[in-house]
Amino acid sequence: MITRRSFLQSGAAAAAFAASARAARAETPGVTDTEIKIGQTMPYSGPASAYGVIGRTEAAYFKMINEQGGVNGRKINLLSLDDGYSPPKTVEQVRRLVEDEKVAFLFNTLGTAPNLAIRQYLNDNRIPQLFVSTGASVFSDPAHFPWTIGYNPNYQTEARIYGKHILATKPDGKIAVLYQNDGFGKEYLSGLKDALGDKSGMIVKEASYETSEPTVDSQVVTLQGSGADILIIAATPKFAAQAIRKSYDLGWNGVRYLSNVSPSIATVLKPAGLEKSKGLICAYYGKDPTDAKWKDDPGMKEWAAFCDKYLSHAEFLDANAAYAYSAAGTMLQTIKQCGADLSRDNVMKQAANIKDLELPLLLPGMRINTSPTNFSPIRQMQLASFDGQSWQLFGELLMG
């Protein structure tokens, strides 16, 4: 039985909740009764422009959500600006997003160096820097940077998986490493050496490159000259494609490991040459759209239908686009969990409290999990080998 007193109490509670929601909207830039405005930077130009498909896919994803009515009555307005993979440009664009466009928070900004350039600014101003598109471990440090949370599997974790596989399969091998001369590449080296432990002497040669360089051909020649029979390619797409092609053209028959930031058949392996890419080993966490084994998978069918309506067959085959679909799904879950309270405090709280989230394009058995002390949403991977047409998974889900 509803008494007058309980009715008044429930009415008062509802009014308080509504007032709280109105206050949160008033205090949070970019949030209105009908919209939530979020921002990101992407390298639509420059040496990492192959990643531009990530921003385009995420924009299409939120368009789909908006056509379905949005989230809790609000449409998601994603402002995605080009930073050319240049940290100074990232700073300029993020200041524009925060100070001029008044976005509520940042989502999936791409790159280790670009994200490092804006991390302190965003944390000083208590602006969520959510699900950054890099696997550098420095973005999973809630004790020191509580407003920044990672997304990609940790680069050190991935490199440790490779190191363990090398020790199990070629314990007497000689390793050469090509790496990008920034936090991304240096974390690979650190993780690899950690896994090798007292056998780190297996690394006989290292060669770095700058993203401003036109080619890494000379580095690959130097690495081959070391006598190594294992090559680890810790490179972004443009340079990964060059390294794959050059190592093959040199007749280098070593085992080649490819960083998970560059597994795309469309933007890396085809430019390198599919035949020249055969035998590559990569650590995977998502389903490969080019692999026929997934053709009847419900998640892959969902992805295909999405691409048919909002993108194209080229994006359907692109691992970077598939990655973006999962990242956007994680962002959507966070916004859903926020309910009516889209204050920056609550957005950050919900991003750090995701429990066993299943996504259509993650490998079977994988879940997204975060907590106030775990800012690494994806912590499992599985090895895969490229057979000339698609990536073939082998072994079990691994943690580095």
Q: What is the pLDDT of residue 21?
A: 45
Within this chain, do residues 56 and 78 fall inside the same structural domain, yes or no? yes
Contacting residues for 301 by C-beta, under 8 A, at least 6 apart: none
What's the DSSP call for residue 96?
I
Query: Tokens representing 280?
Result: 């590559």
Helix runs in the chain, H state only:
4-27, 52-67, 87-95, 112-124, 155-169, 183-196, 217-224, 237-249, 270-272, 274-277, 298-310, 313-317, 319-338, 344-351
Do residues 143 and 164 both lie within one domain?
Answer: no
Residue 85 has pLDDT above 90, yes or no: yes
**80 forms bridges with which residues in the sheet?**
40
pLDDT band at 400; cut points 50, 70, 90 = low
Same domain, 205 and 97: no
Asked whether residue 286 is assigned to any structural domain, the reply reads no
Q: Is the pLDDT of residue 16 over 70?
A: no
Look at residue 374 and tell me if it is in a domain.
Answer: no
> Would you say 89 and 20 are in contact if contact means Cβ atoms under 8 Å apart?
no
Question: What is the arithmetic mean of pLDDT over 305-314?
Answer: 97
137 in the same domain as 37: yes
Question: Does 169 share its domain with 148?
Answer: no
Same domain, 97 and 17: yes
Q: Residue 138 contacts by C-beta under 8 Å, 6 or more apart in sequence?
A: 116, 183
Q: Give a yes or no: residue 136 inside a domain.
A: yes
Return the percentage of the chain with pLDDT > 90, whole number: 88
In this structure, of 10-19, 124-133, 378-387, the range with the lowest mean pLDDT score is 10-19
Instruction: Say what the pTM is.
Output: 0.85
pLDDT-above-70 percentage for the chain: 93
The structure tokens 């700073």 sit at 91
Q: What range does the domain containing 212 cover?
A: 155-259
387, burial (CB in 10 Å: exposed 0-12, middle 13-18, buried 19+): middle
Residue 274 included in any domain: no
What confidence score (pLDDT) does residue 7 get?
A: 41
The pLDDT assigned to 23 comes to 46
**Mean of pLDDT values over 74-84:** 98
Is residue 368 a part of any domain in this protein? Answer: no
Say how far residue 188 (Cα) sits from the centre of its chain: 16
* Residue scoring higher pLDDT (127 or 23): 127
Same-domain check for residues 86 and 212: no
- How does residue 60 score in pLDDT terms, banded at 50, 70 and 90? very high
pLDDT > 80? residue 26: no
The per-residue pLDDT for 185 is: 94
Q: What is the CATH number of the domain that holds 345?
A: 3.40.50.2300
* Distances in whole angstroms, Cα of residue 192 to Cα of each of 143, 185, 198, 200, 376: 25, 11, 12, 8, 19
Assess whether 52 and 120 both reside in one domain.
yes
How many domains are contained in the chain?
A: 2
Structural domain contains residue 388 = no
Are 138 and 168 found together in one domain?
no
Confidence (pLDDT) at 296: 96
Q: Is the domain of 99 the same as that of 135?
A: yes
Verify that 164 and 148 share a domain, yes or no.
no
Q: Which of 229, 259, 289 is the last residue of a domain?
A: 259
The answer on pLDDT for 47 being more than 50 is yes
Residue by residue, DSSP assigns 257-280 as EE-TTS--IIIIIHHH-HHHHTT-
Same domain, 60 and 98: yes
Domain boundary among 197, 227, 259: 259
Is residue 208 pLDDT above 50, yes or no?
yes
Lowest mean pLDDT among 15-19, 149-153, 189-193, 232-236: 15-19
Using 50, 70 and 90 to split pLDDT, how confident is the model at 398?
confident
Are residues 392 and 315 in contact, defined by beta-carbon separation less than 8 angstroms?
A: no
